[in-house]
Structure 1
Amino acid sequence: MAHAASMQYERVAEIGGGAYGTVYKARDTESGQFVALKSVRVQTDKNGLPISTVREVALLKRLEQFDHPNVVRLMDVCATKRSDQETKVTLVFEHVDQDLKTYLERAPAPGLSSECIKDLMRQLLCGLAFLHSNRVMHRDLKPENILVTSQGQVKLADFGLARIFSCHMALTPVVVTLWYRPPEVLLQSSYATPVDIWSTGCIFAEMFRRKPLFCGESEVDQLGKIFELIGLPPEDEWPSVTLSRKNFPLLTPRPIKEFVSGISEKGAQLLLVRYGFNLGLFIP
C-alpha cells in the first residue's frame, strides 16, 4: 500500500457524505487531473493494517491492470499513520462529474429512450460481469454509485468498499438505502453475487420510471413493497429466519407493466429473470 504524500492531492470541493465517509473532489497537483478521494480510518494493531484491508485493497489494485471501460479507475492508495491505533487509508479514484441518479433527473420529458436504456444496461452489465468474474461483489449497487460520463460511458464505482470499510460503516450516520436490496438480504438469509443482479433489476426499472421501484422505510416495509409486485413466496421457499411469513398478506404476482410503464415485452422478460425468480431468490 503506497504511502503517497497527501500533498499531491489538493481538495477542491466536498462531493458528499456516503456510507463510507466524506468524499472529496481533488486535483492531482502533478498531473492537473481531477480525482475523487475516499478516506476511512482503519484500526491498526502492532502488525499495522489488518490483513483483510490490505487484501481487499490489493484486489482492487489488481483489477486496474485490466483497465475495464465500465469500472471506475483506482489511481492511487495513500496510507497515513494517525496514531499507533489508527491509520487513515485514502483511495484515489478517477473523477466523473455525474452519477446515474443525476443523469435520470436531468433527462428531458418523457425520459430516456429504449435505445439509451439498452445501451446503459449493456455497459452496466459488462462492468458487473467483469467484477463478478474477478470474485468482487459490489454489495451496494444504486444509481448514486453508477457514474455516467459526458460521452455516455457507464462506470461502476464504490465496488469492494463495503468489505474494506465494513469496520467503519457502523460509525457513520448515513443509513445505507434499502431500496435496492433483495429479499434474501432483507431477511438476512444469504449474500452472494445474485444480490448485485437484483439491484441491477431495480435500477433497470428506475431508468424507465425515473424514480425508484421499491421505496421501503424499513426492512419489513421494503419486503412488503417487493411482495406487492412479485407475490408472497410459497411456504416451502421461505428461509428459516426470524421474520415469519405470517407477517405479510397473501399476495399474488402482478404484471410488471403495472409498475414499469413503457417497458417492452423483452424488457419485462429480462426484469422477470430476477423478479419472477422461480422463486430462486432465497437459494444462495
Structure 2
Amino acid sequence: MNNHKRFHTLPVYDQRFHTNYSFTVPKRYSNLKFINGGSQGVVASADDSVDKRRVAIKKMHQPFVIPLSAKRAYREFVLLSSVKHPNVGNLFPVFIYLSNKIKTIIQTFSVFTPQDSKDTFQDVYLVMELMDHNLHEVTQHLALDHMKISFFIYQILCAVHHLHREGIIHRRMTGYVVTRYYRAPEVVLGLPYSEKVDVWSIGCIFAELINRRVLFPGRDKVDQWNKIVKVMGTPSEEYISQLIEPIANYVRAVPYFSAIPIEEIIPDSNFLQCTERADMHLTANDARRLISKMLAFDPNERYSVAEALQDPYVKRWFREDEVNGPLSSTRFNWDAAETDCSLAELNSLIFDEVKRIESTHDVFGGL
C-alpha cells in the first residue's frame, strides 16, 4: 500500500499562544490535543485505534536546519536504537526525563516520518507512553508519603544506573540539554563532569517532591550559581583551589554565604509525619541524609548512583534484576553519536535511522 494513503494531517491548537500546528500521522491516531511545546518540539496526546489507548506524539522541531540540533537529533536516535532497560523488557527503548516527568521510564512505542525520500525529509515523530502527571502537578496536587517518595527516587536511580552502565550520562552535548534548575555546580561553572551530575539532578528532584517547589530556580546561568550558594553555602577553599584560575576568581568574587542547615532547607513540616517509620528508615532525617549526600558540592564527596541505591532510605526496594540487569546487546556507540558530519550527511544518517526503526515496528497497525 502507498504510505501516503496511510497518513492523514490533523490540526493541533495551542490555546495559550493561539498557535496552530499540523501533525501528519498514521491513520491509527486521531483526536489530537496539544500538551506542551518547547525548543525540542511539540507534544500532543492522541487516541490509538489499534492498541486502544491514549498516547503522546512528539513532533520534533526542524531537527535538520542547525548542525547542533541535527547532531542532537542523531544522538537521540542512536540512543533509541541501543538502550533498553530490564523494566521495559523487549518493548521499545526508553527515554529518561530527569527534569519534568513523574515516572522515570517512558516507553517509546514507535518512530516515523511521513516523508519517503531524503530529498523531502523534514519531519520526525515519536509515539510515546502518555503520562498522567508531570513533577509540578504531582508536587502541587498529590500528597506523597515516605513510601511513595522513596520508591520514586529508587526508580530514578535504577534507570539512571542502567544508563551509566551503558556509558551514557543524562547531561550530554551542551549545557542547555538539562533544565537549568537541575544542573550540578560543575555544569553551571562549565567544568569537566562525570556521571555524578545526574546524582545532583536527582537530589534536586528529591527535594522538590518534599518541599513542593523548585530548590534552585535560577533565571540564568549566573543566577543559578547564586541560588545554589545562597542555600548550600559558598564552597570550601579546598574545592575552589582545584578550579582553573578564571573560574576560581569568579567564585571568590561572589559574596560569601554560609550553608543553610538541611533541617531548614527541608523542614519537618514538609513531610507527612504520620507516615514516618523509623524501623524502615523512612523518616525526615533519613530523607535529608540522602539528599545531603546527593547535593554535595564536591563531586568527590557526592554519592554515586550505586552508593545512593545502597542508602537505607531507598535500599528496601533494591532488586538485583532491576539494578544490575543485562545490558543491551547493541551498546550505545559514542563514535557514531559523535560523528562530525555536514548538515546534509546528518540529515541522511537520521533519515536512514528513522526508516530502519520504522521497519522493525508496526507503525501503521495494519491500517
Pair in the same fold by TM > 0.5: yes
Paired amino acid for 2:82:
R
The 5-angstrom pairing of residues 38-49 of structure 1 reads 38-40=58-60, 41-43=62-64
Highest RCO, 1 vs 2 (Cα 8 Å, sep ≥ 6): 2
Shift of 1:191: 4.3
1:147-162 map, 5 Å? none
Is the CA contact 2:85–2:162 (under 8 Å) kept in the aligned structure 1?
no
SS at match of 2:187: helix
Corresponding residue SS for 1:212: coil
TM-score (norm 1): 0.73
Counterpart of 2:333 in structure 1 is: none
Q: 1:129-208 residue pairs with structure 2 within 5 A?
A: 129-139=161-171, 177-208=179-210
Q: Cα distance, 1:239 vs. partner?
A: 4.2
Write out aligned runs for 1:2-41 (5 A): 5=7, 6-7=25-26, 8-40=28-60, 41=62
Give the structure 2 partner of residue 62 of structure 1.
Answer: 82
1:222, distance to aligned residue in structure 2 (A): 1.5
Q: Out of 143, 150, 159, which is 1:118 matched to?
A: 150
Contact 1:229–1:256 (8 Å) recurs in 2 = no
Question: Alignment partner for residue 113 of structure 2, among 63, 69, 79?
Answer: 79
Are the counterparts in 1 of residues 180 and 224 from structure 2 also a CA contact under 8 Å?
A: yes
Q: Distance in 1 between matches of 2:300 and 2:79?
A: 30
1:51: how far off?
Answer: 7.8
1:160-205: per-residue Cα shift (whole Å, max 9, x none)?
Answer: xx76xx8xx99xxxx9742111111111113442222111101111
- Contact 2:112 2:125 (8 Å CA) reproduced: yes
Q: 1:189 to 1:281 in 2, by over 3 A?
A: farther
Deviation at 1:91, TM superposition (A): 1.2
Q: 2:291 aligns with which of 271, 274, 279?
A: 271
Deviations 1:126-171 (A, max 9, x none): 22222222233333xxxxxxxxxxxxxxxxxxxxxx76xx8xx99x
| TM score, norm. by length of structure 2 | 0.58
The residue matched to 1:221 in structure 2 has which SS?
helix
Letter in 2 for 1:84: D
Residues 61-70 or 9-18, more deviating: 61-70
CA RMSD in angstroms comes to 3.4
Cα deviations across residues 50-80 of structure 1 (Å, max 9, x unaligned)?
6874553142243347453851111101023
Change (3 A) 1:35 1:135: farther
Separation (CA, whole Å) in 2 of partners of 1:66 and 1:11: 32
Structure 2 runs not aligned, ≥5 long? 8-24, 90-103, 269-282, 303-367
Provide closer, same or farther for how the CA distance between residues 249 and 52 of structure 1 changes in structure 2, counting only shifts above 3 A. Answer: closer
Counterpart CA distance in 2 for 1:78 and 1:11 is 19
* Structure 1 pair 137–279 and aligned structure 2 pair: CA distance change class (3 A): closer
Question: Does the 8 Å contact 1:78/1:91 carry over to 2?
Answer: yes
**Percent of matched pairs sharing the same residue:** 29
Match of 1:106 in 2: 141
Cα distance between partner residues in 2 of 1:249 and 1:80: 55
Larger Rg: 2
Q: Which residue of 2 aligns with 1:232?
A: 234
Amino acid at match of 2:169: M
TM-aligned CA deviation for residue 83 of structure 1: 7.4
Q: Secondary structure at the match of 1:280?
A: coil
Number of residues paired by the alignment?
244
For 1:129 and 1:212, how far apart are their aligned partners in 2?
24
